[in-house]
């Protein structure tokens, strides 16, 4: 999950990692128990990634890009859609008939969001920031992912300073729950 490089390289690596987990899930037959384990792994990745983007990428977008507030708000709405779907997916058992449709909805929303970021947002951020700024943001994103929640919290704040204050506490609680339940272990 922590890959190194500047913010764009880090987040793009996260995108590739999520695509691989989606692939691993879809090759397993419906109802297979390993699908739920992989969905939990995917959820952890996506939630941490989204929190880090909300803490560091989107404030940079607001500050540095023309129409930055509108762009950031759109990306945060995308996150909200995915997070609500992940919350519903989290409640499904491996053999739940809703699981496949929810997973397809998550994949479609994530794929659309990734495409938009990589083809439109990231190139603008790369032009607006120096390599040094992008590298510092990459370090901050990696740190944020370590402390971020591992479960969807659709009602949690998505903008600084509230998200930076609340996320580590939610992350601590989530990691404690994960430890007790064994969630997220291979």
CATH number at residue 138: 1.20.120
Segments forming the whole domain that contains residue 151: 7-181
Q: Is residue 2 domain-resident? A: no
Query: Which contacts of 94-100 are long-range, i.e. CB under 8 A and separated by 24 or more positions?
Result: 94/31, 94/32, 94/33, 94/35, 94/36, 95/31, 99/30, 99/35, 99/36, 99/39, 100/30
List, for residues 120-174, the tens digit of each pLDDT value. Answer: 999 999 999 999 999 999 999 999 999 998 887 777 767 676 676 676 667 667 7
* Mean pLDDT (the chain, rounded): 90
Q: Is residue 186 domain-resident? A: no
List, for residues 93-109, the tens digit of each pLDDT value. Answer: 988 989 999 999 999 99
pLDDT level of residue 58 (50, 70, 90 thresholds): very high
109 CB neighbour count, 10 Å cutoff: 18
Query: pTM of the entire structure?
Result: 0.92
């Amino acid at each position: 999950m922590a890959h190194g490089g500047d913010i764009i390289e880090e987040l793009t690596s996260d995108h590739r990692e999520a695509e691989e987990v989606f692939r691993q899930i879809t090759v397993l037959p419906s109802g297979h128990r390993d699908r739920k384990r992989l969905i939990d792994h995917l959820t952890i990745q996506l939630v941490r990634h989204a929190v880090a983007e909300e803490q560091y990428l989107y404030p940079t977008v607001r500050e540095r890009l023309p129409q930055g507030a509108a762009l950031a708000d759109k990306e945060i709405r995308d996150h909200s859609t995915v997070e609500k779907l992940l919350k519903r997916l989290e409640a499904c058992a491996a053999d739940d008939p809703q699981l496949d449709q929810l997973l397809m909805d998550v994949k479609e929303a994530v794929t659309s969001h990734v495409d938009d970021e990589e083809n439109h947002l990231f190139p603008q951020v790369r032009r607006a920031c120096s390599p040094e700024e992008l590298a510092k943001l990459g370090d901050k994103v990696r740190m944020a992912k370590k402390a971020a929640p591992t479960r969807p919290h659709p009602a949690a704040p998505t903008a600084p300073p509230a998200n930076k204050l609340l996320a580590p506490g939610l992350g601590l609680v989530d990691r404690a729950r994960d430890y007790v339940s064994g969630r997220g272990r291979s």
